[in-house]
Amino acid sequence: MVTVAISASKPGSLTRKLPEAVTFDKPLDAVTILDVKKAIAAKNPKFYTSRQKLSLKGDNKALPDGKTLKEVGVTGNAELSVKDLGPQIGWKTVFVIEYAGPLVIHPLIYYLPQLFYGGPVQHSTLQTYVYAGVMFHFIKRELETLFIHRFSHGTMPFRNVFKNSAHYHLLSGLLLAYAIYSPTYSANSPWIRGTIRENPTFLMSCMGAFLFAELSNLSTHLTLRNLRPAGTTTRAIPMGYGFSLVSCPNYLFETIAWTAITVMTGSWAAALFWVVGTGQMAVWAKDKHRNYKKQFGDKYPRGRKAMFPFVF
């Protein structure tokens, strides 16, 4: 039999109602952190398991759900502290909301120019291509979120919805759509007429590069999915297309896709989204690359870069 004392790391409305201890009819090596969370939630259902962060008393590190008390170093009369992470929302739900923004905003601005520019816009081929590309990209991301990605997290704090959505709803949604579907890029505008931006070879080359990058990005997402058996959170070394050169080819291909849109349009709005997105992915790629090397040591392929082949 095990009894674990529980205390709140910070006072709060939910942590005030914590049980002083939880008892199990099992040994230390048979009780998991998730069992402790479930026992706390059983006493106070509002404090559901994904809201709780458990740590060893005097430490701030979150204890993983799947580990047993013995594995995390809990001894006979140890105490665990619990923190309230606040209201949670499904991990997938946040991504679905993020990508839904551009999927609503682009059609609105493309099909209702009177509302946004005060009159009709005769769309150029470039505008039609960008519209098709953006819709393809975000529908693909929705489908990948729902049917391909095997995330290791179940939930995240609710407030993240706003922070995460701002990037897509404002930059690749409102800003990009408003700039590109404006009269500046319309069929008879001097920015288009008689320029390379209405040359079919140039436009098709840019769209070809975009499609190549999108399909390559999809391929890397399928590789990552196949690394993780369903229902697990295991991590393995990805191999194959793109991964022989960099740890995060999915980010590399995403960047190539938006480079194609930026070059095709010559738009500052597309360039801004490119800079912010690529900058963010480069930071993540650096961390992921370092973590791969730390986790897999000598087994990790030497010479593989983080995101840009042979460079970074």
Ligand X SMILES: NC(=O)c1ccc[n+]([C@@H]2O[C@H](COP(=O)([O-])OP(=O)(O)OC[C@H]3O[C@@H](n4cnc5c(N)ncnc54)[C@H](OP(=O)(O)O)[C@@H]3O)[C@@H](O)[C@H]2O)c1
User: Which residues would be at the binding site for ligand X (CB under 6 A)?
Assistant: 149-153, 217, 224, 227-228, 235-236, 238, 250-251, 254, 277, 280-281, 284
Dihedral (Cα; 270, 135, 247, 222), 10-degree rounding? 180
Instruction: Find the residue with minimal CB distance to ligand X.
Output: 277
Dihedral (Cα; 91, 92, 98, 102), 10-degree rounding? 170
Residue closer to ligand X by CB (options 30, 62) is 62
> In angstroms, rounded to a whole number, what is the distance separating the alpha carbons of residues 222 and 224?
5
Rounded to a whole number of angstroms, the minimum distance from the CB of residue 99 to ligand X is 9
Residue closer to ligand X by CB (options 26, 225) is 225
The CA angle 305-306-312, to the nearest 5 degrees, is 70
Range list of β-strands (E), the chain: 2-8, 21-24, 52-56, 79-84, 88-90, 155-157
Rounded to a whole number of angstroms, the minimum distance from the CB of residue 254 to ligand X is 4
Rounded to a whole number of angstroms, the minimum distance from the CB of residue 160 to ligand X is 13
**Tokens read off for 187:** 């069929």
Rounded to a whole number of angstroms, the minimum distance from the CB of residue 34 to ligand X is 18
Residue closer to ligand X by CB (options 67, 235) is 235
- Reference 117, options 25, 181, 57, 203; nearest CA is 181
Residue closer to ligand X by CB (options 53, 149) is 149
Rounded to a whole number of angstroms, the minimum distance from the CB of residue 156 to ligand X is 11
> In angstroms, rounded to a whole number, what is the distance separating the alpha carbons of residues 21 and 6?
5
Rounded to a whole number of angstroms, the minimum distance from the CB of residue 174 to ligand X is 15
Residue closer to ligand X by CB (options 123, 169) is 169
- Reference 129, options 263, 269, 251; nearest CA is 263
* CB-based contact 17:47 (threshold 8 Å): yes
Residue closer to ligand X by CB (options 186, 217) is 217
